[in-house]
Amino acid sequence: MKNSSSYTAVAYLFLAPALILMAIFTFWPVGYNTYLAFQDYAIADGTATWNDFAHFKYIYEEELFHSALKNSLLYLLVVPCIQLAALVIAKLVNNKLPGMTFFRATYYIPVITAISVAGVAWAFVYKYDGMLNGFLTWIGHALGMLQGEFTRVEIDWIGNPDIAIYSVMVFTFWKGLGYYMVLYLAGLQAIPAEVEEAAILDGANAWDRFWKITVPMVKPTILLCTLLSTIAAMKAFQEVIVLTKGQSDTYTALFYVYDQAFRNYNFGRAAAAGLVVTFFCMILAIIQFRFFGDKK
Amino acid sequence: MAMSKSVRQALGLTGHYAGLIAFAIFTTFPFVWALCSGLSVDASKMYTFPAGFWPHEPSFMWFERVFQEMPFLTYLKNSTIMSFFTIIGVVAISVLAGYPLARMKFPGRGLIFVAIIATMMLPSEVGIVPNFITLKHFGDFGNWIQESIGLGSDWNMRAWIGLDSYFGAIVPNFAGAFGIFLMKQAFEAIPQDLIDAARVDGATEMQILWKVMVPVTAPSIAALAIFTLVNAWNDYLWPSIVMTSKEKLPLAVGVFNDLTGPFATSDNILMAAIVMTVVPVLVFFAFTQRYFISGMDGAVK
């Protein structure tokens, strides 16, 4: 072994670029954000003054922030839907039938398209004279539920405050499905084929096999994916930017942060709200790490 | 009731494919629709089902109009430049950092690794405000250097490293826990004999990394490069905040701004523009899709 202090120096030299960049762009923001949360930041000259928890008092009172937090918690509804659908799809493509590569690739397409461009396409699907209503009109006519040749279904999917947040959630579901499918596929491929074959011989039907064999055997993957998608749901806000820009009751917690920072230019208040969101994310992560703890 | 085995199998198979096709329709219909509307000269049937899913009087006229109405090629060039340098940066930094974490023993290794992995749990979006301010300071610093060494104001160094610079739009993405973790896993899978043999031959750590480790882990590096390319190409939020001048915007931001901005004219042009933005990614994906599955596989373990 060579001289150990120069060996350590080499190791740190290799790590230096990563550590320096992470220090500037990942670790420093955490500290600085916490500092900003207690200050009034003037964007023009960059001065910050202590304001005696004013931001926290403000957002504690504010209706908009409450509704943003409520929407973010409501967003967690996406988690079970996306997990179940992704697992079912992974199960459907996990075999050697012809065309599986094609279907896997097809399901992954929403994941690899830019959220902004996909959002524009969905805004066209959702608008009151858009494709979704066109499709529902066609169904309505086919079933004879709509009278008159030119009547159309006119639901404003992203303009109506009662349903807009759910429409945004469907978009998140569409965008994330393929990502979790691939993770589940990796989990499913680790299950030996004999297990399932034995169950088929014993006469178990597809439903039983799914719940009694597949689900228990991919449990570690389910936990990982649930953790990932829970944090992603808490952090959802780019969907809101591209679909509704926060109109019709669709503020989520991080959209509030973004909105305060880059529309109101109130960096201090944005930081304070961001700190609250970080706190919620940490709690969720800790709860789920308890689950993981048993596994390792 | 006894159904013959082959009938049951055929039914099961039909159900299986029906499910697959239903999900395929769900994931692709917005783009299929965009393609058909972009190809149709006649816009009147665009929002009716099922007529909207078929091109009427097909022509490329709307696609040609896209080039006239928005600086599509400029956005394409910016996306290419930014993605290229992001890949170089991410791969270089992840390889350099992954190697000592995987194969060298030095004090502080465990702590550094835990710190890097812990950043995966942080909501990174909370960093956008501090990073915005940091880049503003970078710009001031560039300006200060320029003044102190007496360069003329036409050098405009503020725009090299501050806000509204390629540097500012991509550098915060360089050092990521995902890349470092992926490379660490790849390096750990290499047999120790290979490294010992190189050490006996008197190779320095840099030579071991460059001549032994990098060639052997090429598939992982390729997977990392592909993931990085897709992320960089599609990155919307950060460039939309940092970049203010239109001629520096990447596709994901520029096309979105033009599509939703005040100059949006015909819906068919928008649909054509959506298709043109998505197609490069799809073509690339068609050639590399096996890496996506295998790369994720490696990261999960």
Determine the average pLDDT of the residues in A167-187. Answer: 89
Could you tell me if B82 lies within 8 Å of chain A, comparing CB atoms? no
Determine the average pLDDT of the residues in A202-222. Answer: 84
Q: How confident is the model at residue A3 (pLDDT cuts 50, 70, 90)?
A: low
**In the predicted model, what is the mean pLDDT of chain B?**
84
Q: Per-residue DSSP letters for A137-150?
A: HHHHHHTT-S-STT
Of B96, B130, B271, the CB nearest to A29: B130
User: What one-character DSSP code corresponds to residue B262?
Assistant: T
User: What one-character DSSP code corresponds to residue B234?
Assistant: H
DSSP reduced 3-state for A39? strand
pLDDT surpassing 70 at residue A143:
yes
Distance from C-alpha of A9 to C-alpha of A5, rounded to nearest angstrom: 6
Task: Determine the distance in angstroms separating the CA of A192 from the nearest CA of chain B, rounded to an integer.
Answer: 17
φ and ψ at residue B250, rounded to 5 degrees: -80, 170
Determine the average pLDDT of the residues in A43-58. Answer: 76
Determine the average pLDDT of the residues in B192-211. Answer: 88
Of A14, A106, A237, the CB nearest to B100: A14
Could you tell me if A200 lies within 8 Å of chain B, comparing CB atoms? no
**Domains of chain A, with CATH numbers?**
62-295 (1.10.3720.10)
Determine the average pLDDT of the residues in B241-259. Answer: 86
Flag if A129 and B47 touch (Cβ within 8 Å): yes
Instruction: Please give the helix or strand (H or E) that residue B82 lies within, else none.
Output: helix B72-103
pLDDT surpassing 90 at residue B263:
no
Determine the average pLDDT of the residues in B180-193. Answer: 89
Task: Determine the distance in angstroms separating the CA of A88 from the nearest CA of chain B, rounded to an integer.
Answer: 10
pLDDT surpassing 90 at residue B90:
yes
**pLDDT value of residue B3:** 62
Give the residue ranges of DSSP H helices in chain A.
4-22, 28-36, 54-61, 63-74, 78-93, 100-112, 115-126, 131-142, 164-188, 193-201, 206-209, 215-217, 219-234, 238-243, 253-262, 267-295
More confident residue, B160 or A276: A276
DSSP reduced 3-state for B204? coil
Q: How confident is the model at residue A73 (pLDDT cuts 50, 70, 90)?
A: confident
pLDDT tens digits along B33-82: 888 888 877 767 777 777 777 777 777 877 888 888 888 889 999 999 99
In A, residues 1-40, which contact B (CB 8 Å cutoff)?
7-8, 10-12, 14-15, 17-19, 21-22, 24-30, 32-33, 36
Give me B26's structure tokens. 């769900």
pLDDT surpassing 50 at residue A63:
yes
Determine the average pLDDT of the residues in B140-160. Answer: 77
**pLDDT value of residue B301:** 47
Rounded to two decimals, the pTM is: 0.85
Strands (E), B203-299: none
Could you tell me if A44 lies within 8 Å of chain B, comparing CB atoms? no
Could you tell me if B278 lies within 8 Å of chain A, comparing CB atoms? yes
**pLDDT value of residue A18:** 92
pLDDT surpassing 50 at residue B6:
yes
Rg (CA), chain A: 24
**pLDDT value of residue B104:** 86
User: What one-character DSSP code corresponds to residue B261?
Assistant: S
Q: Which residue of A has its CA nearest to B227?
A: A112
pLDDT tens digits along B207-241: 888 888 899 888 888 888 888 888 898 888 899 98
Of A33, A177, A278, the CB nearest to B27: A177
- A-interface mutation test, from B27, B31, B195, B207, most A Cβ less than 10 A away: B27
Task: Determine the distance in angstroms separating the CA of B189 from the nearest CA of chain A, rounded to an integer.
Answer: 18
The architecture that CATH gives domain B71-300 is Orthogonal Bundle (1.10)
Determine the average pLDDT of the residues in A5-19. Answer: 89
Instruction: Say how many CA atoms lie within 13 Å of B49 toward its Cβ.
Output: 21
Contact list in B for residue A93 (CB cut-off 8 A) is 20
Domain extent listing, chain B: 1-59, 71-300
**pLDDT value of residue B300:** 52
Could you tell me if A287 lies within 8 Å of chain B, comparing CB atoms? no
Of A15, A109, A274, the CB nearest to B100: A15
